[in-house]
Structure 1
Amino acid sequence: MLRTMRPSRRCFSVLSSLKNTAFEIEQKPVKAKAEPLSEAQNAYLERAIRVDQAGELGADYIYAGQFFVLANRYPHLKPVLQHMWDQEVHHHNTFNRWQLEHRVRPSLLTPLWKLGAFVMGAGTASISSEAAMACTEAVETVIGGHYNQQLRCLSNQYELQWTDGNRSPTQEITLLTETIRQFRDDELEHLDTAIEYDSRKAVPYMLLTEGIKTICRVAVWTAERI
């Protein structure tokens, strides 16, 4: 008579161990690997940091000029202006750090941005508080649109939704995207504040806003390249 072979306790133990190991391997998530940036992507990243640093420097000095003129004339505007200026200082300092960390050359026209921005802020504030707010509305409209364009580019070129599960955007690109999105929201908040404080009652409203928008667009284009 054939004797039925029964697995030993040791066999059961080995089989159980292999089964558990296989389950752990199956359940263990695949660690995402950052996709290295191409030369073109690195060039865009450098250009984005340069222009954003220049833009936030300009916004910082615009609000400095407005505050210098309006804070004592219109005490009710002082905390409003201070809040917006504080946010711009934070934006400016953030991109200063990015610029240093990534060794990005600043715009060669930085002294011009400082002088021109302060004159724009103080000059429109000297006309009226409404004119200063019209300046803010125009500037934040252009900056908000610029940040939206950058977010679309970053989404299309850097944060592609890969389906194989083993690639992801680099940490620096993710952080830059989050930073730009937060700053964009701050700028649009400033735009709403300007409208709330009678930017559209400025005289001459259209001449001021369209002229300042044109200056800002030229400044953005120039800062990206020079």
Structure 2
Amino acid sequence: MIRVNQAGEYGAAQIYKGQLAVMGDNAPGSSAIHHMAEQEQRHLDAFDKMIAERGVRPTALQPFWKIAGYALGATTAAMGPRAAMACTAAVETEIDQHYQEQLDELESENDPELTRIIAEFREEELEHKATAISMGAEDAPGYPVLSAAIRLGCKFAIGLSKRI
């Protein structure tokens, strides 16, 4: 759980870096993206710490997630602010499901620290999704296709990061 969550938060941080590199600080949605990026960095820092403390091996795919996340962020931002928000909404839909599955699994475990962190971060991810939708994610050109493609990519990344 810690490995895949760290990989996901790393990828999310890269997505926001790519979006901000293209959009800059004055585009519609930039302040919201900065806020979400700060929260993702806090999530990443927490999982980085848990990886070190618990001796968990990080995914070997991290260099790939750096490039893929940044490219996804930059590409969606180049498509416009609504597409950038569509990216966030799609990613957070998958992360919500992923974190909920982990919380369900943790009910039978005795790991209150991990349970608390995942629950807290899931709530923040849901806030990101709500923000993205309120800022026009669903009005992005080709939203159903864009969202489905990003969600499929997230599922693929989660599956790979669990194993590699």
Q: TM-score, normalised by structure 2?
A: 0.97
Q: Provide the rounded CA distance (Å) in 2 between the counterparts of 1:73 and 1:121.
A: 17
Give the structure with the larger helix fraction.
2
- Aligned position for 2:159: 221
In 1, Cα distance between the equivalents of 2:69 and 2:81? Answer: 17
> Shift in Å at residue 84 of structure 1?
0.4
Residue matched to 1:117: 69
Aligned to 2:2: 49
Aligned amino acid, residue 135 of structure 2: Y
Mapped contact 1:68–1:122 kept (Cα < 8 A): yes
Give the unaligned 5+ runs of structure 2: none
- 1:77 equivalent to 2:29? Answer yes
Q: Deviations for 1:97-127, whole angstroms, at most 9, x for unmatched residues?
A: 0000111111011100010000000101001
1:207 pairs with 2:160: no
1:18-57 residue pairs with structure 2 within 5 A?
Answer: 48-57=1-10
Partner of 2:83: 131
Q: Over aligned residues, Cα RMSD in angstroms?
A: 0.9
2:34 corresponds to which letter in structure 1?
Q
Match of 2:115, as an amino acid? Answer: T
Deviation of residue 78 (structure 1)?
A: 2.4
Regions of 4+ moved over 3 Å: none
Query: What is the CA distance between 1:72 and its match in structure 2?
Result: 3.9
Shift of 1:67: 1.3
Preserved contact between residue 107 and residue 223 of structure 1 (Cα < 8 Å): yes
Number of residue equivalences = 164
- Tell me how far 1:77 sits from its aligned partner: 2.2
One-letter amino acid of the counterpart of residue 35, structure 2:
H
> 1:69 deviation in Å?
1.3
Q: 1:141 to 1:186 in 2, by over 3 A?
A: same
Among 63, 75, 82, which residue is 2:16 paired with?
Answer: 63
Give the CA deviation at 1:71: 2.6
* Residue 25 of structure 2 corresponds to residue 90 of structure 1: no
* Structure 1: distance between partners of 2:29 and 2:81: 9
Deviation at 1:73, TM superposition (A): 5.1
Secondary structure (helix, strand or coil) at the match of 1:135 reads helix
Q: 1:53 corresponds to which letter in structure 2?
A: Q
